[in-house]
Structure 1
Amino acid sequence: MMGPRATAAHLEAQALAMREHNAYVVLLQDAIARSAGLNGVDLQVVGVLMASGARTPGDLAAEVGVSAGGAITALVDRLERAGYVTRRRDDADRRRVLVEAVPERVLAEVGPVYGRLAARWGAYLETLSDDQVELLTTALATATAINRDEVARLRASR
């Protein structure tokens, strides 16, 4: 059973907090990328590869919203020169090229920052009850799903 609905003032405060959070997520990712000698899209590609493993350049282009062809090739070339990714032939289909992250390089460059963030966030979460953490987890998962849907909608409308 749901409790009483939030007041307009609480909803407005939450909307402001979400806008500020979203702005600082973008600024943080940009600062992390720059500290590692990358740009924001490059860092997101490395993140995708770290999270989900080797991908074809076309799959990467589709996931991060970069044009397939020249743009993704230039991006992968840049990351390869910087030592963040390697290319290899797909064992199942030798005609396909896969791009994979170099975890040692990624962790050496951005691991300390993400580790520091995780420790600070973890320390905060430890001050909350299980119910509060569950609510926060649900809210973040819902916000992520909404953002994912909007990304897809915006890309489809191009």
Structure 2
Amino acid sequence: MSKKSTRDAGIERMAEVMREFMARAVLFQDAVARVGGINSTDMQAVSLLMSEGPATPGELAQRTGLTAGGAITAVVDRLERAGYVTRERDAGDRRRVIVTAQADTVLDRVGPIYGRVGQRWADYLATLTDEQIEFANELFARAAEINREEIEVLRGG
């Protein structure tokens, strides 16, 4: 019976750590959404509107992977009722509707949570060397890219 190399054991541990991180990230986002009075799918839609800008319902459906029909309409309806988004007619094409995140509402309802977590991360990152931070940035950027690519595969794109 062969012993596992230190590298093999480290790679195996990394897989465990990544699974744990991804699961905790999903559960954290769900908990934040609930504190904010919405569900996690709706919170992700608001997050995408905040980071990528306003969108038509169809564009938001593409970003989230929801269908352009009833599912995305229900998300936008719930978010509008909760005050997280507004819907306005496109000035250039009155047939189009643009959905815009209400940043003040988002920051008021969930900003303190992200601020607290951000501060905890900042405190931890202050203990790392520049090289460790550079590596962490590369690792997380690559993990995000792999996840983005796999989402496209799963969605049939």
- TM-score, normalised relative to structure 2: 0.94
- For 2:104 and 2:151, how far apart are their aligned partners in 1? 30
Percent identity, aligned pairs only, is: 53
Task: Please give the root-mean-square deviation of Cα atoms over the aligned residues, in Å.
Answer: 1.4
Where do residues 1-158 of structure 1 align in structure 2 (5 Å cutoff)? 7-156=7-156
- Secondary structure (helix, strand or coil) at the match of 1:127 reads coil
- Secondary structure (helix, strand or coil) at the match of 1:87 reads strand
- Secondary structure (helix, strand or coil) at the match of 1:86 reads strand
- For 2:131 and 2:71, how far apart are their aligned partners in 1? 45
- For 2:106 and 2:137, how far apart are their aligned partners in 1? 27
- Secondary structure (helix, strand or coil) at the match of 1:111 reads helix
Deviation of residue 6 (structure 1)? Answer: 6.7
Deviation of residue 130 (structure 1)? Answer: 0.6
Deviation of residue 94 (structure 1)? Answer: 2.1
Deviation of residue 23 (structure 1)? Answer: 0.6
- Secondary structure (helix, strand or coil) at the match of 2:106 reads helix
- For 2:128 and 2:92, how far apart are their aligned partners in 1? 47
Query: Which sits farther off after the overlay, 61-70 or 135-144?
Result: 61-70
Q: Which 4+ residue blocks in structure 1 deviate beyond 4 angstroms?
A: none
Deviation of residue 70 (structure 1)? Answer: 1.2
- For 1:75 and 1:118, how far apart are their aligned partners in 2? 27
Amino acid at match of 2:25: V
Flag structure 2 segments of 5+ consecutive residues without an equivalent.
none
Matched residue pairs, number?
153
Deviation of residue 74 (structure 1)? Answer: 1.1
- For 1:10 and 1:106, how far apart are their aligned partners in 2? 39
* 1:19-55 deviation line (CA, Å, top 9, x unaligned): 1001100100110011111111100000011112110
- For 1:125 and 1:135, how far apart are their aligned partners in 2? 12
- For 1:91 and 1:136, how far apart are their aligned partners in 2? 43
Amino acid at match of 2:69: G
- TM-score, normalised relative to structure 1: 0.93
